[in-house]
Amino acid sequence: MNKKRVLIIDDDPEIGNLYREFLEGEGYLASCCNDGSEAVIQLEKEKFDIVLLDIQMPGMDGFKVLSSIENKGIPVIIITAFGTVENAVRALRSGASDFLVKPFSLEELSLAIERNIGNNGVASEISRLKMIKTILELNRVIVSLTELDPLFDKVINIVNNIYQPELVAMYITGEEGENFVLRKYMPVKNKLPEQLPVSCSYAQVRNIFSERKALIEKERNYRITIPLTGTKKEIGFMYIEVPAAKEISEEEIKFLEIFALQVGIGIENAILFDMIKNSYINAIKSLINSLEAKDSYTKGHSEQVAYYSLLIGKDMGIGSQNLEVLKNASYLHDLGKLGIKDSILLKAGPLDRDEMEIIRQHPSMTVKILEPLGLKKDEIAACFHHHERINGNGYPSGLKGDEIPLLARILAVADAYSAMVSERPYRKAMTEEEAIAELKRYADIQFDRDIVDTFIKILRENKKEVKGDERN
């Protein structure tokens, strides 16, 4: 019996030789090629029964190699460490028979070769099922996203990369639960298409949920409406328009339906995560209220710092997601003071060296409280570093300049101003002008000058004195 011939195309010689030695031990004749262009030449000269092909290679990458041998009738197994939905689907559409994501066992490799050699109808169908399984595994990244906007962005990006549509729109259940509301869309032009409603009733899309299948209409474009369902209920739907010239296959529609199942569960998880997170935040705010109820000097500080921080952040154009992070960090930044004795925290006079060292531990205590709650790293970082100084003489890490996270630098200015215009046990509240003078004095020393200038501009524009009541 003639041995089956395998061509291994991988730019890493060690990996190629590992596969070759293993396959020769399994009874195959295996050859290695470390360059895509050389592999194409070798395929022209010699006959192989199957090809193992890496995607990421210098010069001629795996997709270009795949394109050059597309019509030769040789089964190709894509082998890559870059396992994305886009790569998997692109490989399938380009003629690949199978798709393995590194790391995998040599036994998995052997089984993949066995089912693909000959490329008969049965093997082809098995490979297709394997591809779908792989895509489902890759879609776990969708489910892992815990915020709706990044999730929608990822979904739209995947659909865009695969199908190059003219329009993608995401609808999810509104607050009342009766209508589906447009949450995200990607049109050809940066405006809302006239035919795309801002909301629609359940009755208008009832059919896609009853049949759990995509609704396909073909006029000038393919108009595809795909249900998004969670574990228990309808979550929403995805609407896609693809130019009719592209010819959407049944296989591609099936992929979209499978993909939509994952997206629906991802949306459901994100909504649930947001509910849980808000519960955590509200619980922590209750703790903050407990902290601020210790004495009259602390009441309302967190709200003030949040107010000032958001004014600065909006003026600096930092974006809605970062504004949300900044708001949460402003509320939570002093949470660690719950672990400090009242005799230190409420001391009427100046603190001694040991007491000051204890006070300086509150950012670390804050982090210990927040980390188990699964909050964003940027939220925790802003809380942890809001006492750093631009000149590097701050705490807890001694960061300086741009080493300090931007949100922490904003928080530092808002926190300091709130403290200065607040009545303290050991001093009277400063006036707005006095506090502004202090901010100017310590710009480029304690504070970021650009942030100080922005905040002063905001205060000047408001033309009113805002006083707070908290100790720093």
pLDDT digits (tens, 9 = 90+) for 216-253: 888 778 888 888 887 767 888 999 988 877 777 776 77
User: Residue 291: what pLDDT?
Assistant: 65
Query: 138, 161, 193: which is the final residue of a domain?
Result: 138
Query: 138, 157, 177: which is the final residue of a domain?
Result: 138
Q: Which of 81, 52, 84 is nearest to 66 (CA)?
A: 52
Taking the model in full, what pTM does it have?
Answer: 0.49
Contact partners, residue 221, CB within 8 Å, separation at least 6: 166, 241, 242, 243, 244
The residues facing 181 across adjacent strands are: 172, 199
Q: What is residue 154's three-state secondary structure?
A: helix
Q: Residues 115, 25: one domain?
A: yes
What CATH number is associated with residue 238?
3.30.450.40
Q: Residues 231, 163: one domain?
A: yes
Q: Residues 97, 173: one domain?
A: no
Domain that holds residue 80: 5-138
CA distance 330 to 407: 10
Q: Residues 165, 80: one domain?
A: no
What CATH number is associated with residue 92?
3.40.50.2300
Residue with tokens 């006070």: 359
What are the tokens at 300? 């309302």
Q: Residues 262, 363: one domain?
A: no
Q: What is the domain count for the chain?
A: 3
Q: Residues 177, 86: one domain?
A: no
Between 55 and 207, the more confident residue is 55
Q: Residues 148, 133: one domain?
A: no
User: Residue 126: what pLDDT?
Assistant: 47
Between 86 and 36, the more confident residue is 36
Tell me the C-alpha to C-alpha distance, in Å, between residue 383 and each of 2, 193, 219, 403: 68, 42, 55, 15
User: Residue 199: what pLDDT?
Assistant: 82
Report the 10 Å Cβ neighbour count for 200: 16
User: Residue 231: what pLDDT?
Assistant: 73
Q: Residues 317, 411: one domain?
A: yes
404: left (phi over 0), alpha (psi -120 to 50) or beta: beta
Peptide bond into 396 cis (omega under 30): yes
Residue 277 lies in a domain: no
Query: 88, 114, 138: which is the final residue of a domain?
Result: 138
Residue 353 lies in a domain: yes
Residue with tokens 């500080």: 301
Q: Residues 298, 446: one domain?
A: yes
Q: Residues 154, 204: one domain?
A: yes
Contact yes or no for 417/438 (Cβ under 8 A): no
Radius of gyration for the alpha carbons in the chain, expressed in angstroms and rounded: 30
Residue 287 lies in a domain: no
